Each structure stands twice: as structure tokens, then as C-alpha cells.
A and B are shown apart, each in its own frame.
Chain A
């Protein structure tokens, strides 16, 4: 839903790094985004194409890697991945406790860019 705001940040970070590295053109941008963030890949690419017009990142491909939602058990301290689409209740896969806290799944970062 907020792809536009996020895409604007991606573009400005990419342009900043490209300028520092005397880049002629940005070919692709690799992103790591947690499953818990409600972003649609296709819309990010569409917004990016629109926003990046006439910049050195024009038309760059967004390669989006999704990182899983991981919870940690309060009782046994172990971590386990959770598929939120199928889960009714989140239960520790090691000790069956339901006392859990979210540890990852909210990532939102640019890994690297491919440039010429």
C-alpha cells in the first residue's frame, strides 16, 4: 500500500551511492524485504519505473528477495520461521509454547546494485 513512499527512498539511496561511485547507469537493484511488510513487487517496479525516469537508475530491475517471518520462543529461547498465511496460532516448533516474540520479517534494505 505504501510502495510509492518506499520506492522514493530506494531511488534516493541508489542515486546517492551511484554518484559516489561514478556510475554511468544502474542496471539492477537487489532488495531484501521481510514477509511481514505489505509490499507488492509488481507495484514497486511500476513506481520505480515512473520515478526513475531521466535518472541514471532509469529502468533498473528490482530483484526482491523475501526474508521469512521468524519468531523466538520466550520459554526455550529458540527461533523458528512462521508462515503467516497459514497460521492460526503461532506455536514454538521446538517446545509448543505460545509465548513468542517477533524477531525478524520486517527487513527493508538494499543489498547491492549492479552498475556500469
Chain B
């Protein structure tokens, strides 16, 4: 005899556990007045260089920590530690993204009472990190000039969820077939609210605009934590 087949309604978000934990992380950070920034890019886009530049510019103003997500090495964490800021290395062993539970683990290793800004260097990839809320206050992505101006067409989700796009390696513009206006059109089309800064971590061009934006956002955030 056939057993009775039943249908059970679930209607549950597959990523709800991650979202809930990300909200809890934001709550904890708010109590400690810590600003969490999630930095995403392709491999070689300039995440580590941007972190190093940002630390150099802001380490006398804010107490900074870094969470390094990397597949299986500590090279980036070592480069960041040389700048004199605490860095926690997450070894994700092949994972393609960082999620809230990994960030939660990393934050437990950090002295939140003595930090103002924590930067997450997410796994180098424009696909998966866009899906997973890390608990960050702001999401920032880097697109480097050699990658091409067509990337918003290929990775629309990443461009849709970010608060800031940093177009890095503009020192390559003269040798690259890269249409900056076409890029900006494509990005604003997907995300009209995004801020775009054009920078070069190598020459330092444009970095001050980024630092000004970050400082303003941090001040707004820290003021809002006090209320």
C-alpha cells in the first residue's frame, strides 16, 4: 500500500540564519561603537593594497583592525600586520565567501573595546561574497581597470549591493581599453545610490576622496551609536 504523501509548508529563507546572525553582529558592534567594513573584489583587484593605504592614512585617527579571509595562506595577514594593526586570519579552506558565522568567530578574537574600525578583506571573487551578509555596516567593492568596464553586466548582484565602488589601478588607463563613462553608466543603472571613487593604490591618486568618505561615514555612525 502506498503511504500517504503529505505536503509540509515551510516558507523559510535559506539564508535566514546568516541574516539573523549578521543583525546580531551589527547590534554587538553598535554597543562597542565599532564600524565594520566589508571589502570585496576579484583576486588581484587591490584589496590588500587598499587596506594598507587606508591604515596608513587613518591609523592616527582611528583604532583599526583587519579580518583577512583567504583560501589557505597568511600572506595578506602578514602584510597587514606589518602596518602595526591587529589582523585576524580566517582560513576558509576552499570556501568561496565569508559569512556571518565566520566573521562572528573572528570578532571573538578581537578586542572590540579598543577598536573603531574593522575592515574585512573578503575572498577574492565577485559572485559569492555578494550573497552573504557579513554584519558589515557598509559594503565596498573594488574593480580594477585591467578587469574591464563590462563587469557590471557579468556580476550585477555585486554592483547592486555595494555602497561604494572603488575603480582601482587608474594608472593603467592609458594602456587599457577601458571606457570609464560606460562603466559608470552601467553601474549607476544597476545601483543609482552607489558612490564611485576613481583611485590608484600605487600612485595614491584619488585615495583622499575615499578616506574623506570613510571618515565621514564613520563619524555619522559613531554619533548614531551614542544616541
Q: Chain A interface (Cβ within 8 Å of chain B)?
A: 1-2, 5-6, 9-10, 13-14, 17-18, 21, 23-24, 27, 31, 36-38, 69, 74, 84, 87-90, 98-102, 106, 108-116
**Do A37 and B11 contact each other (CB < 8 Å), given the known contacts A2-B97, A27-B5?**
no
B157 interface residue, CB < 8 Å from A? yes
Q: Quote the shortest CB–CB distance from A98 to chain B (angstroms).
A: 5
B residues less than 8 Å from A88 (CB atoms):
153
Asked if A99 and B15 sit within 8 Å, CB to CB, the answer is: no
Asked if A108 and B13 sit within 8 Å, CB to CB, the answer is: yes
A residues less than 8 Å from B3 (CB atoms):
24, 116
B112 interface residue, CB < 8 Å from A? no
Asked if A89 and B185 sit within 8 Å, CB to CB, the answer is: yes
Q: Name the residue on A nearest B94 (C-beta).
A: A4
A residues less than 8 Å from B153 (CB atoms):
84, 87-88
How far is it, in angstroms, between the C-alpha of A31 and the C-alpha of B99 when the chains are bound?
21
Asked if B5 and A116 sit within 8 Å, CB to CB, the answer is: yes
Which residue of A10, A38, A102 is within 8 Å of B14 (Cβ)?
A: A10
Asked if A106 and B157 sit within 8 Å, CB to CB, the answer is: yes
A residues less than 8 Å from B192 (CB atoms):
74, 99-101
- B26-34, B114-122, B124-132, B139-147 - the one binding chain A: B124-132
Q: Quote the shortest CB–CB distance from B9 to chain A (angstroms).
A: 5
Q: Name the residue on A nearest B4 (C-beta).
A: A116
B48 interface residue, CB < 8 Å from A? no
B86 interface residue, CB < 8 Å from A? no
Quick one: CB contact mask for B151-176 with A, threshold 8 Å, 1 for yes?
A: 00100110010000000000000000
**Do A114 and B6 contact each other (CB < 8 Å), given the known contacts A37-B131, A89-B186?**
yes
Q: Quote the shortest CB–CB distance from B34 to chain A (angstroms).
A: 26
Q: Name the residue on B nearest A9 (C-beta).
A: B14
Asked if B6 and A116 sit within 8 Å, CB to CB, the answer is: yes
B227 interface residue, CB < 8 Å from A? no
Q: Name the residue on B nearest A27 (C-beta).
A: B5
**Do A114 and B157 contact each other (CB < 8 Å), given the known contacts A2-B128, A90-B190?**
no
The 5 closest A-B pairs by CB, nearest first: A116-B3, A2-B128, A110-B10, A108-B14, A109-B13
Q: Quote the shortest CB–CB distance from A64 to chain B (angstroms).
A: 12
Q: A89-B185, A90-B190, A108-B14 are in contact. List 7 more A-B contacts (CB 8 A).
A: A38-B157, A84-B153, A98-B189, A100-B190, A102-B160, A113-B10, A115-B5
